[in-house]
Structure 1
Amino acid sequence: MTSIKEQAAISRLLSFLQDWDNAGKAARSHILDNFIENNQGKTAPELEQEFSQGASLFLVRLTTWLRLTYMTGSSLEKVLKSIGIFLASVNSNRYLIEFLEVGGVLTLLEILGLEKIKEEDKKESIKLLQVIANSGRKYKELICESYGVRSIAEFLAKSKSEETQEEVQVLLNSLVHGNPKYQNQVYKGLITLLPSVSPKAQQLALQTLRTAQSIIGATHPSIVDCVLNVLCTMHLEVQYEAIELIKDLVNYDVCEALLKGLVDLLTPSVPEASEPQPKILSDSTVVLQLTTARLPAAYLPAFLQQAAAAKAIGVLARGNTSLAEEMLRLRVVHSLMAAMGNAEHSNSQRQASLTLESNAEDLHMKIDSVQVDILATNKVNVSRALYQHGQFYNNRSFYFCPRDPEQLSDITRFQEDVEGKE
């Protein structure tokens, strides 16, 4: 027979559950407020004691209400926080299994894709997914098997809250650790985030990619182009993370392709007028600065990418002599020797430039006095040669320029402005 004390506890539980069952939306919201305030941080045994060994009866009511109302967002944040108290409690494996058995993971992932749901509600969904992922390998696999990586990555790219995006990064970082079956899936999902229009999403994806890269130990071929394209950003924090990732990638099999890509970016490509321009170019302050410099606004991304590539090359060259030699072979000697081989030099001189280009490491030993003089006084010839190919040069860097004669005066004035400021 049960004691009087136990009978009283059971009576309180039944009364509480009856109040919940009979309550409307406002009353249930008030019940949830009290539950969250009084039970935050409790262990599973403490919750059982609070509910007279019937805590699961309240949990099943919460999960049922969640599945019935999550599409409308009715008190969704409070429901998710209440479920989180159960799942995050010590010795909560029983509650976790009960939640998963009713399709809890699929519900949480679906919440992330609903447009009418508030950002705070989605943030609570991410926190619950973190709790599930941190519970063990099989739970991480369950999230990934439910197409979780795609849903989470898409939410990170679309989220407007940096705080929420950082919570998503924590979740992705958890999914890439201790999850050998699906770690490559997470890795590829992070790569797909790099073209995102959200600078914060790019930054967090690059940070997590560095961790994933060290865990996986292999590269995906698409990562080179994706990382190089990120360099055209105007956000220095994104550029910094991209260069840090590049420093890691040179230790893998994509090193040669990466170096070649960086060197090629030193010569910006032609921006087509019909191509859609980045939103940043609609910023009146940016356009004003470009107008003052007499440079077309469409060239800005290419110049930013060029500058970032030069910075990355400088970082790599200072840290590794062999990489510096490889980049010298790929670009520097080629550019200088091409200038030496322009129409103003003899055929023998052009032939000598080709010979020297193939032996970059012996350049200083094989050039003669004539070639030294050409290299020392070649500034005008370089400018002319590059302009013939659609580019111009000042004493700072290479810039693309169309061959339209009407724009040549603008270029000349820009060069004069630069020299005058110096």
Structure 2
Amino acid sequence: MASSKEEMEMSKLMSFLQEWDNGDKAVRHRILSDFINTNKGKTGPELELQFAQGASLFLTRLTAWLRLTYMVGTCVTEQLQAIGVFLSATSGHRYLIEVLEVGGVLTLLEILKLKQLREDNKEEALKLLQIIANAGRKCKEIICESYGVRNVAECLANSKLEKTQEQAQILLELLAQGNPKYQQQVYKGLIALLPCTSPKVQQLALQTLRPLQMLVKTVHPCIVEPLLNVLKTIHYEVQYEGIEFIKILLDYNVRKALLEGLVTRLNPSMDDIKNRPKILDDEPTTKLTESTPLFVQQAAAAKVIGILIQESAEIAEELLQFRVVHNLLIAMGNLDHADSQRHASLTLEVSILLWE
């Protein structure tokens, strides 16, 4: 027979669950807040003790209510944080299994896709997916099989808050590590982020690509154009990441394409500007404004070439095959962009000393 203490604990649990079952939105919000504040950081055994060995009964209710209400945004952040108490509990692997069995991964990925949900909702969903991904290779594969890479990459691209973007980056990094079946998928997803207009997204994508490249080992030629186009940015932190990644890729099969592409960017094509309707060219500054990204890229290309020449005599010799001196002179003659003149001049100076 159960002791009186056990009976009291069971009665307390049933009263708690009944209050949840009968409660409206306000009541459930209060219960969630109290649960999070009281139980955050507890281990699996401690949660079982708290719930008279019936913690799963509450977790089941949480996941069910989340599936029913996440599309309308009812207490989503609080629900996710409460589920996180279970998933992050030490010795609480059973809770992870229970969440997976009811389609928890799909629900979390759906939350990332919904435009009407707030970014703090998505941030919490990303944190739960990180916990799941950290549980092992099989869990990472489950996320990827559910179109997780695409959903997380799109969340990173569309998010406005840096906190959400950073959580998405962490998850993509996790999905690539120790997950050879889907490493290429993550790799290509990150490459697809390079053309984003958000400098933070570009920076995070490049920061993730650099260590991932060591794992993937091969390089798809499709990376060359978006990577060189990153040099059009006026954000130096993004340029830095792009330059460092270019240096890494020179040890792979895209070396020739990258070097040739850098030299080509010293002499940018102005066709896009020339083909603009004349009605748009009334303002005298239009041409200069439109050409600025090309000139920024020109200056960055001259800068990168200078760095590469100083670091490797072999690369310096290869650049000569692409008429690098001729194109540096063109960049140095760009009277519309002082940075192009300066970087081209410095690179030419280094080149002359090297090739004397």
Distance 1:69 1:85 in 2: 20
TM-score by length of 1: 0.76
Distance 2:203 2:339 in 1: 27
Q: Which amino acid aligns with 1:89?
A: A
SS of the residue 2:272 aligns to: coil
* TM-aligned CA distance change 1:52 to 1:236, over 3 Å: same
Shift, 1:3, TM fit = 0.6
Distance 1:90 1:206 in 2: 34
Partner of 2:306: 314
> Which of these residues, 319, 323, 326, is aligned with residue 315 of structure 2?
323
* TM-aligned CA distance change 1:397 to 1:83, over 3 Å: closer
2:169 touches 2:208 (CA, 8 Å); kept in 1? yes
Shift, 1:333, TM fit = 4.9
Partner of 1:66: 66
Shift, 1:77, TM fit = 0.2
| Structure 1 residues 253-292: aligned runs within 5 Å | 253-273=253-273, 291=285
Distance 1:274 1:218 in 2: 39
2:169 touches 2:204 (CA, 8 Å); kept in 1? yes
Q: Which amino acid aligns with 2:71?
A: M
* TM-aligned CA distance change 1:275 to 1:236, over 3 Å: farther
2:263 touches 2:327 (CA, 8 Å); kept in 1? no
Q: Which amino acid aligns with 1:134?
A: N
| Structure 1 residues 11-410: aligned runs within 5 Å | 11-273=11-273, 291=285, 296-333=288-325, 393=334
Shift, 1:334, TM fit = 5.3
2:302 touches 2:340 (CA, 8 Å); kept in 1? no
Distance 1:328 1:144 in 2: 45
* TM-aligned CA distance change 1:274 to 1:192, over 3 Å: farther
SS of the residue 2:321 aligns to: helix
* TM-aligned CA distance change 1:226 to 1:91, over 3 Å: same
Distance 2:274 2:308 in 1: 35
Distance 2:68 2:139 in 1: 24
* TM-aligned CA distance change 1:127 to 1:275, over 3 Å: farther
Distance 1:214 1:95 in 2: 34
Q: Which amino acid aligns with 1:210?
A: R
* TM-aligned CA distance change 1:132 to 1:300, over 3 Å: same
Distance 1:43 1:393 in 2: 65
* TM-aligned CA distance change 1:397 to 1:158, over 3 Å: closer
2:119 touches 2:161 (CA, 8 Å); kept in 1? yes
Distance 2:83 2:275 in 1: 49
Q: Which amino acid aligns with 2:185?
A: Q
Structure 2 gaps of 5+ residues are: 277-282, 342-356
Distance 2:256 2:179 in 1: 30
Shift, 1:92, TM fit = 1.7
Instruction: Give aligned pairs, total.
Output: 334
Partner of 1:415: none
Q: Deviations over 1:31-58 (max 9, x none)?
A: 0010000000000000000000000000
Q: Which amino acid aligns with 1:112?
A: L
Distance 2:314 2:236 in 1: 27
Distance 2:75 2:287 in 1: 53
* TM-aligned CA distance change 1:327 to 1:196, over 3 Å: same
Partner of 2:344: none
2:190 touches 2:205 (CA, 8 Å); kept in 1? yes
Distance 1:234 1:397 in 2: 11
Distance 1:22 1:105 in 2: 27
Shift, 1:329, TM fit = 2.5
Distance 2:145 2:164 in 1: 23
1:271 touches 1:298 (CA, 8 Å); kept in 2? no
Q: Deviations over 1:195-246 (max 9, x none)?
A: 0111111000000000110111110111111100111011111111000100
Q: Deviations over 1:378-414 (max 9, x none)?
A: xxxx88xx9xxxx965597879xxxxxxxxxxxxxxx
- RMSD (CA atoms): 2.2
TM-score by length of 2: 0.89
Shift, 1:275, TM fit = 7.7
1:317 touches 1:324 (CA, 8 Å); kept in 2? yes
Percent of pairs with identical residues: 57
SS of the residue 1:71 aligns to: helix
Structure 1 gaps of 5+ residues are: 277-287, 337-381, 400-422
SS of the residue 2:95 aligns to: helix
Bigger relative contact order (CA 8 A; separation at least 6) = 2
Distance 2:275 2:66 in 1: 46
Q: Look at both structures and tell me which one has the larger radius of gyration over its CA atoms.
A: 1
Q: Which amino acid aligns with 1:296?
A: L
